[in-house]
Structure 1
């Protein structure tokens, strides 16, 4: 007999952050997605360092893994080095349920690239077991369902350029995140 797959009952919470609105969705098993609705007001002049992140919608959904995720994000924007010591929420997006190069890359990135560090696409490909898979690493970054928790903003080109974050629309956010982490080291 085939076991039927029961769909997750998703809940969500929306946070106001220095980057703009962040929507986090998940189920009792873990976080599914983090979506950053970029704030176009974030410019070079926006201060890095201690920044507030507050729940705007979905307060009633804050339980289990969404609460762990919200606590982590709020700590990250206030003081990143504190967030790095907090427990991470479980992930329950399908990309983490399969054995694939993408899931391996995301796991390696989360595990091995610490706060304030960067890694090249090429080096991350090598760390993930396939030095020739630089483009596949870029694809994994585009498919990362939980940015910030899995820090795809820390992946840069070998020549030191930041690459394209959020399809190039979020490059100013990537620069802010990298400066925010280094400012708090």
Structure 2
């Protein structure tokens, strides 16, 4: 699918003209649609499915941006670069810039915004937290239900990793892209973190990597 240029003059994007462009990323879990403008990413839309094409959460070279007639703005280029790294070279995501966001939910002051930013900043690759734990991190231990609402409202999934928020029982819980996709993402991160934590094979002239931090917040 080619990128599209759509005039966007709507107060929900901050009250000023906003020309929205669209990019499609072909990922190991299907087509991911990204929209945004020069100011930042508006939304990431995940494929919703009941069964994933493969049960194995392996990295894949099949992660490409569909060519478009026009060059996407910088935030969309950064977004696609980050997502490609997430799927194909997870170790490199920490060195890549997180794209700017231009969505009203992430601009106005609210508990939802605080929860989403807390999740982005505090819950790292390969980690998982419960709704209650995230509520505590965001400063209100009694707001687990509100955290659930914030996860459902998240316009930037994967980058703002709502898939890392699970039930206290350990069950993965619901997800906008479907529970199989959530479980695939969690499995993908667990597998890649284990690979990064594993010592190098002896005799190859490389030093063992240090163990990574604990994979969950308690």
Q: Same fold (TM over 0.5)?
A: yes
Which residue of 158, 161, 167 maps to 2:168?
158
Instruction: Find the aligned partners of 1:34 and 1:63 in 2 and give their Cα distance.
Output: 15
Say if 1:121 and 1:156, in contact at 8 Å, map to a contact too: yes
Say if 1:156 and 1:162, in contact at 8 Å, map to a contact too: yes
Say if 1:15 and 1:57, in contact at 8 Å, map to a contact too: no
CA deviation map 1:22-78 (0-9, x unaligned): 0000010100000012355515x4322212311125362423110000100111110
Say if 1:23 and 1:36, in contact at 8 Å, map to a contact too: yes
Which residue number corresponds to residue 112 of structure 2? 102
Which residue of 4, 18, 32 maps to 1:8?
18
Which residue number corresponds to residue 31 of structure 2? 21
Aligned ranges 1:86-125 → 2 under 5 Å: 86-125=96-135
Q: How many residues align?
A: 179
Q: Which has the larger radius of gyration?
A: 2
Aligned ranges 1:36-185 → 2 under 5 Å: 36-39=46-49, 42=52, 45-51=54-60, 52-58=62-68, 60-166=70-176, 170-185=178-193
SS in 1 for 2:22: strand
Instruction: Find the aligned partners of 2:23 and 2:157 in 1 and give their Cα distance.
Output: 15
Q: Which 10-residue stretch deviates more, 6-15 or 117-126? A: 6-15
Please report the RMSD computed on the Cα atoms of aligned residues, expressed in angstroms.
1.7
Q: Name the TM-score, length of structure 2 as normaliser.
A: 0.77
Say if 1:106 and 1:150, in contact at 8 Å, map to a contact too: yes
Instruction: Find the aligned partners of 2:175 and 2:71 in 1 and give their Cα distance.
Output: 29
CA deviation map 1:6-25 (0-9, x unaligned): 13110010111111110000
Q: CA deviation at 1:86?
A: 1.0
Say if 2:23 and 2:33, in contact at 8 Å, map to a contact too: yes
Say if 2:50 and 2:180, in contact at 8 Å, map to a contact too: no
Instruction: Find the aligned partners of 2:68 and 2:141 in 1 and give their Cα distance.
Output: 42
Runs of 4+ in structure 1 deviating by more than 6 angstroms, as ranges, are none
